[in-house]
Structure 1
Protein backbone atom coordinates (compact mmCIF):
# COMPACT_ATOMS: atom_id res chain seq x y z
CA UNK A 1 0.00 0.00 0.00
CA UNK A 2 1.09 3.54 -0.61
CA UNK A 3 -0.23 7.01 0.16
CA UNK A 4 -2.16 5.84 3.21
CA UNK A 5 -3.27 8.01 6.08
CA UNK A 6 -2.42 7.30 9.73
CA UNK A 7 -4.28 4.52 11.49
CA UNK A 8 -6.02 4.77 14.83
CA UNK A 9 -9.29 6.15 16.14
CA UNK A 10 -11.32 9.29 15.67
CA UNK A 11 -14.01 9.40 18.35
CA UNK A 12 -17.56 10.56 17.60
CA UNK A 13 -16.86 13.74 19.58
CA UNK A 14 -14.17 14.73 17.04
CA UNK A 15 -15.84 13.68 13.78
CA UNK A 16 -17.07 16.45 11.47
CA UNK A 17 -19.16 16.53 8.29
CA UNK A 18 -16.83 16.47 5.27
CA UNK A 19 -14.01 14.69 7.11
CA UNK A 20 -12.37 12.19 4.76
CA UNK A 21 -9.76 9.42 4.86
CA UNK A 22 -8.36 7.09 2.20
CA UNK A 23 -5.93 4.34 1.36
CA UNK A 24 -4.28 3.35 -1.90
CA UNK A 25 -3.50 -0.27 -2.77
CA UNK A 26 -2.34 -2.07 -5.87
CA UNK A 27 -4.35 -5.27 -6.28
CA UNK A 28 -2.05 -8.21 -6.99
CA UNK A 29 -2.59 -11.73 -8.31
CA UNK A 30 -1.75 -12.95 -4.81
CA UNK A 31 -4.50 -10.73 -3.31
CA UNK A 32 -7.02 -12.28 -5.69
CA UNK A 33 -5.83 -15.82 -4.98
CA UNK A 34 -5.93 -15.27 -1.20
CA UNK A 35 -9.40 -13.70 -1.40
CA UNK A 36 -10.62 -16.69 -3.44
CA UNK A 37 -9.21 -19.03 -0.82
CA UNK A 38 -10.68 -17.19 2.17
CA UNK A 39 -14.07 -16.48 0.61
CA UNK A 40 -14.26 -19.82 -1.29
CA UNK A 41 -15.36 -17.79 -4.35
CA UNK A 42 -13.31 -19.50 -7.05
CA UNK A 43 -15.25 -18.09 -10.02
CA UNK A 44 -12.90 -18.53 -12.99
CA UNK A 45 -13.42 -14.91 -14.08
CA UNK A 46 -11.09 -14.09 -11.18
CA UNK A 47 -8.60 -16.94 -11.52
CA UNK A 48 -8.47 -18.26 -15.11
CA UNK A 49 -7.28 -15.86 -17.82
CA UNK A 50 -8.37 -18.12 -20.70
CA UNK A 51 -11.88 -18.40 -19.27
CA UNK A 52 -12.05 -14.68 -18.44
CA UNK A 53 -11.04 -13.67 -21.99
CA UNK A 54 -14.39 -15.00 -23.22
CA UNK A 55 -16.45 -12.94 -20.74
CA UNK A 56 -17.77 -9.38 -20.97
CA UNK A 57 -14.64 -8.33 -19.06
CA UNK A 58 -12.23 -9.72 -21.70
CA UNK A 59 -9.78 -10.67 -18.97
CA UNK A 60 -9.43 -11.48 -15.29
CA UNK A 61 -10.92 -9.18 -12.68
CA UNK A 62 -10.63 -8.91 -8.92
CA UNK A 63 -13.56 -9.93 -6.76
CA UNK A 64 -15.87 -6.97 -6.17
CA UNK A 65 -15.89 -7.72 -2.47
CA UNK A 66 -12.09 -7.58 -2.39
CA UNK A 67 -12.39 -3.98 -3.58
CA UNK A 68 -15.17 -3.35 -1.06
CA UNK A 69 -12.87 -4.71 1.63
CA UNK A 70 -10.62 -1.70 1.08
CA UNK A 71 -13.53 0.52 2.19
CA UNK A 72 -13.81 -1.63 5.32
CA UNK A 73 -10.09 -1.10 5.95
CA UNK A 74 -10.44 2.69 5.80
CA UNK A 75 -13.43 2.61 8.15
CA UNK A 76 -11.89 0.13 10.61
CA UNK A 77 -8.42 1.64 10.64
CA UNK A 78 -8.86 5.38 9.99
CA UNK A 79 -12.36 6.91 10.04
CA UNK A 80 -13.74 6.39 12.56
CA UNK A 81 -11.08 3.70 13.09
CA UNK A 82 -10.41 1.19 15.84
CA UNK A 83 -13.55 0.31 17.81
CA UNK A 84 -15.94 1.12 14.96
CA UNK A 85 -18.89 -1.23 14.42
CA UNK A 86 -20.25 -1.61 10.87
CA UNK A 87 -24.05 -1.33 10.82
CA UNK A 88 -24.65 -1.35 7.07
CA UNK A 89 -23.17 -0.77 3.64
CA UNK A 90 -24.66 -0.25 0.20
CA UNK A 91 -22.44 -0.94 -2.80
CA UNK A 92 -22.70 -0.27 -6.50
CA UNK A 93 -20.02 -1.78 -8.70
CA UNK A 94 -19.34 0.59 -11.59
CA UNK A 95 -16.31 -0.91 -13.35
CA UNK A 96 -13.96 -3.88 -12.94
CA UNK A 97 -10.70 -3.87 -11.02
CA UNK A 98 -7.98 -5.87 -12.74
CA UNK A 99 -4.80 -7.43 -11.37
CA UNK A 100 -2.18 -4.68 -11.20
CA UNK A 101 -4.73 -1.85 -10.84
CA UNK A 102 -4.07 0.70 -8.10
CA UNK A 103 -7.27 1.40 -6.17
CA UNK A 104 -7.90 4.50 -4.07
CA UNK A 105 -10.55 3.75 -1.43
CA UNK A 106 -12.04 6.81 0.26
CA UNK A 107 -14.71 7.51 2.86
CA UNK A 108 -16.26 10.90 3.59
CA UNK A 109 -18.54 11.80 6.49
CA UNK A 110 -21.97 12.95 5.25
CA UNK A 111 -24.05 12.79 8.45
CA UNK A 112 -23.57 12.39 12.20
CA UNK A 113 -26.12 11.35 14.83
CA UNK A 114 -24.31 12.13 18.09
CA UNK A 115 -27.12 10.80 20.30
CA UNK A 116 -26.85 7.33 18.72
CA UNK A 117 -23.09 7.54 17.89
CA UNK A 118 -23.95 6.83 14.25
CA UNK A 119 -21.94 8.16 11.33
CA UNK A 120 -22.98 7.99 7.68
CA UNK A 121 -20.12 7.80 5.19
CA UNK A 122 -20.00 8.16 1.43
CA UNK A 123 -17.78 5.34 0.19
CA UNK A 124 -15.91 5.30 -3.12
CA UNK A 125 -13.16 3.38 -4.86
CA UNK A 126 -11.44 4.57 -8.01
CA UNK A 127 -8.76 3.37 -10.39
CA UNK A 128 -7.28 6.55 -11.77
CA UNK A 129 -10.26 8.75 -12.66
CA UNK A 130 -12.61 5.78 -13.09
CA UNK A 131 -15.00 5.19 -10.19
CA UNK A 132 -15.16 1.42 -9.76
CA UNK A 133 -17.34 1.25 -6.64
CA UNK A 134 -19.59 3.68 -4.81
CA UNK A 135 -21.89 3.37 -1.88
CA UNK A 136 -22.79 4.45 1.61
CA UNK A 137 -21.89 3.05 5.01
CA UNK A 138 -23.54 3.46 8.40
CA UNK A 139 -21.29 2.83 11.38
CA UNK A 140 -21.34 3.05 15.16
CA UNK A 141 -18.38 5.24 16.07
CA UNK A 142 -16.27 4.88 19.20
CA UNK A 143 -16.69 7.47 21.95
CA UNK A 144 -14.42 8.76 24.68
CA UNK A 145 -17.40 8.37 27.04
CA UNK A 146 -17.09 4.59 26.75
CA UNK A 147 -13.31 4.23 27.19
Structure 2
Protein backbone atom coordinates (compact mmCIF):
# COMPACT_ATOMS: atom_id res chain seq x y z
CA UNK A 1 0.00 0.00 0.00
CA UNK A 2 1.20 3.54 -0.68
CA UNK A 3 2.36 5.48 2.35
CA UNK A 4 0.26 8.48 1.37
CA UNK A 5 -2.51 9.31 -1.07
CA UNK A 6 0.01 11.08 -3.32
CA UNK A 7 2.18 7.96 -3.81
CA UNK A 8 -0.38 6.31 -6.09
CA UNK A 9 -0.32 9.41 -8.31
CA UNK A 10 3.43 10.12 -8.15
CA UNK A 11 4.38 8.27 -11.34
CA UNK A 12 1.67 9.83 -13.49
CA UNK A 13 2.63 12.57 -15.93
CA UNK A 14 0.48 15.34 -14.47
CA UNK A 15 0.12 14.04 -10.91
CA UNK A 16 -3.11 13.93 -8.95
CA UNK A 17 -5.86 16.01 -10.59
CA UNK A 18 -7.83 18.46 -8.47
CA UNK A 19 -11.58 18.24 -8.10
CA UNK A 20 -13.09 21.06 -10.12
CA UNK A 21 -10.28 21.11 -12.71
CA UNK A 22 -11.64 21.64 -16.24
CA UNK A 23 -10.16 21.15 -19.70
CA UNK A 24 -11.62 21.77 -23.16
CA UNK A 25 -10.77 21.24 -26.83
CA UNK A 26 -12.52 22.65 -29.87
CA UNK A 27 -12.54 21.44 -33.47
CA UNK A 28 -14.63 21.63 -36.63
CA UNK A 29 -16.14 18.40 -38.01
CA UNK A 30 -15.47 17.42 -41.64
CA UNK A 31 -16.60 14.94 -44.27
CA UNK A 32 -13.18 13.36 -43.84
CA UNK A 33 -14.13 12.55 -40.21
CA UNK A 34 -17.09 10.54 -41.50
CA UNK A 35 -14.95 8.74 -44.10
CA UNK A 36 -12.22 7.82 -41.63
CA UNK A 37 -14.66 6.70 -38.94
CA UNK A 38 -16.62 4.61 -41.48
CA UNK A 39 -13.46 2.99 -42.79
CA UNK A 40 -12.34 2.20 -39.25
CA UNK A 41 -15.66 0.87 -37.94
CA UNK A 42 -17.72 -0.20 -40.95
CA UNK A 43 -20.48 2.29 -40.03
CA UNK A 44 -21.81 3.38 -43.42
CA UNK A 45 -25.23 4.55 -42.20
CA UNK A 46 -26.76 6.60 -45.05
CA UNK A 47 -27.47 9.45 -42.59
CA UNK A 48 -23.72 10.09 -42.76
CA UNK A 49 -23.42 9.99 -46.57
CA UNK A 50 -26.68 10.44 -48.43
CA UNK A 51 -27.46 14.17 -48.41
CA UNK A 52 -30.92 13.73 -49.96
CA UNK A 53 -31.99 11.02 -47.51
CA UNK A 54 -30.47 12.91 -44.56
CA UNK A 55 -32.24 16.14 -45.59
CA UNK A 56 -35.57 14.32 -45.33
CA UNK A 57 -34.73 12.86 -41.93
CA UNK A 58 -35.44 14.26 -38.48
CA UNK A 59 -31.88 15.67 -38.56
CA UNK A 60 -32.41 17.63 -41.79
CA UNK A 61 -28.78 17.21 -42.86
CA UNK A 62 -25.85 14.82 -43.01
CA UNK A 63 -24.62 14.15 -39.50
CA UNK A 64 -21.34 12.77 -38.16
CA UNK A 65 -21.28 9.49 -36.29
CA UNK A 66 -21.66 9.60 -32.51
CA UNK A 67 -18.11 8.26 -32.26
CA UNK A 68 -16.86 11.38 -34.03
CA UNK A 69 -18.77 13.55 -31.57
CA UNK A 70 -17.53 11.66 -28.51
CA UNK A 71 -14.03 11.31 -29.96
CA UNK A 72 -13.12 14.83 -28.95
CA UNK A 73 -13.47 13.70 -25.33
CA UNK A 74 -10.83 11.01 -25.95
CA UNK A 75 -8.40 13.78 -26.91
CA UNK A 76 -9.24 15.97 -23.91
CA UNK A 77 -8.85 13.07 -21.47
CA UNK A 78 -5.68 11.61 -23.03
CA UNK A 79 -3.90 14.88 -23.76
CA UNK A 80 -5.13 17.46 -21.26
CA UNK A 81 -7.00 16.24 -18.17
CA UNK A 82 -6.08 13.95 -16.49
CA UNK A 83 -3.56 13.68 -19.37
CA UNK A 84 -1.16 11.18 -20.96
CA UNK A 85 -1.66 7.61 -19.80
CA UNK A 86 -5.39 8.05 -19.18
CA UNK A 87 -7.88 5.49 -20.50
CA UNK A 88 -11.63 5.16 -20.14
CA UNK A 89 -12.93 2.49 -17.78
CA UNK A 90 -16.61 3.34 -18.09
CA UNK A 91 -18.73 5.96 -19.80
CA UNK A 92 -22.35 6.95 -19.48
CA UNK A 93 -23.17 9.31 -22.33
CA UNK A 94 -26.40 10.70 -23.63
CA UNK A 95 -26.39 12.04 -27.19
CA UNK A 96 -28.85 14.91 -26.96
CA UNK A 97 -28.30 16.66 -30.28
CA UNK A 98 -26.82 15.46 -33.58
CA UNK A 99 -23.70 17.13 -34.92
CA UNK A 100 -23.52 18.05 -38.59
CA UNK A 101 -20.62 18.35 -40.99
CA UNK A 102 -18.62 21.59 -40.74
CA UNK A 103 -19.91 22.21 -37.23
CA UNK A 104 -17.66 23.46 -34.45
CA UNK A 105 -17.79 21.34 -31.30
CA UNK A 106 -16.09 21.71 -27.95
CA UNK A 107 -15.40 18.79 -25.65
CA UNK A 108 -15.20 19.53 -21.94
CA UNK A 109 -14.24 17.40 -18.95
CA UNK A 110 -14.43 18.37 -15.30
CA UNK A 111 -12.91 16.31 -12.50
CA UNK A 112 -15.69 15.50 -10.03
CA UNK A 113 -13.99 12.72 -8.06
CA UNK A 114 -10.48 11.42 -7.40
CA UNK A 115 -9.65 8.20 -5.58
CA UNK A 116 -6.78 8.19 -3.12
CA UNK A 117 -6.16 4.43 -3.25
CA UNK A 118 -5.95 4.08 -7.07
CA UNK A 119 -5.23 6.50 -9.93
CA UNK A 120 -8.90 6.65 -10.91
CA UNK A 121 -11.01 9.75 -11.53
CA UNK A 122 -14.67 10.46 -12.13
CA UNK A 123 -15.31 13.07 -14.82
CA UNK A 124 -18.32 15.11 -15.88
CA UNK A 125 -18.24 15.16 -19.69
CA UNK A 126 -19.99 17.19 -22.33
CA UNK A 127 -19.73 18.23 -25.95
CA UNK A 128 -21.35 21.48 -27.05
CA UNK A 129 -21.81 23.13 -30.41
CA UNK A 130 -20.77 26.70 -31.30
CA UNK A 131 -24.08 28.00 -29.90
CA UNK A 132 -23.30 26.39 -26.54
CA UNK A 133 -26.03 23.76 -26.93
CA UNK A 134 -25.35 20.33 -25.47
CA UNK A 135 -24.73 17.61 -28.04
CA UNK A 136 -23.47 14.98 -25.58
CA UNK A 137 -23.66 14.91 -21.78
CA UNK A 138 -22.65 12.40 -19.16
CA UNK A 139 -19.90 11.04 -16.99
CA UNK A 140 -16.83 8.89 -17.35
CA UNK A 141 -14.59 6.91 -15.05
CA UNK A 142 -10.94 6.94 -16.12
CA UNK A 143 -7.75 5.20 -15.08
CA UNK A 144 -4.51 7.16 -15.21
CA UNK A 145 -1.66 4.78 -16.02
CA UNK A 146 1.75 5.58 -14.58
CA UNK A 147 3.95 6.86 -17.41
CA UNK A 148 7.54 7.89 -17.11
CA UNK A 149 8.77 10.82 -19.22
CA UNK A 150 10.33 9.76 -22.56
CA UNK A 151 13.82 10.85 -21.48
CA UNK A 152 13.61 8.64 -18.39
CA UNK A 153 12.40 5.70 -20.50
CA UNK A 154 15.37 6.11 -22.88
CA UNK A 155 17.82 6.17 -19.95
CA UNK A 156 16.32 2.93 -18.60
CA UNK A 157 16.55 1.25 -22.01
CA UNK A 158 20.23 2.16 -22.38
CA UNK A 159 21.20 1.08 -18.85
Task: Name the TM-score, length of structure 1 as normaliser.
Answer: 0.87
| Aligned pairs for 1:104-123 within 5 A | 104-123=106-125
Contact 1:24 1:102 in 2 (8 A): yes
* Corresponding residue number in structure 2 for 1:136: 139
Could you list the runs of 5+ residues in structure 1 that have no partner in the other structure? 1-8
Contact 1:10 1:142 in 2 (8 A): no
- Aligned-CA RMSD value: 1.9
Task: Name the TM-score, length of structure 2 as normaliser.
Answer: 0.80
* Corresponding residue number in structure 2 for 1:20: 22
Contact 2:85 2:147 in 1 (8 A): no
| Aligned pairs for 1:40-79 within 5 A | 40-79=42-81
* Corresponding residue number in structure 2 for 1:101: 103
User: 1:11 deviation in Å?
Assistant: 2.1
Distance 2:61 2:28 in 1: 17
Distance 1:144 1:84 in 2: 10
Distance 2:45 2:146 in 1: 41
Residues 32-61 of structure 1: per-residue CA shift (max 9 Å, x gap) = 111111111000001110111121111110
Give every structure 1 segment of 4 or more consecutive aligned residues whose post-TM-superposition deviation is greater than 3 Å. 142-145
Name the CA shift for 1:115/1:144 in 2 (closer, same or farther; >3 Å).
Answer: farther
The count of aligned residue pairs is 137
Matched, 1:10 2:10: no
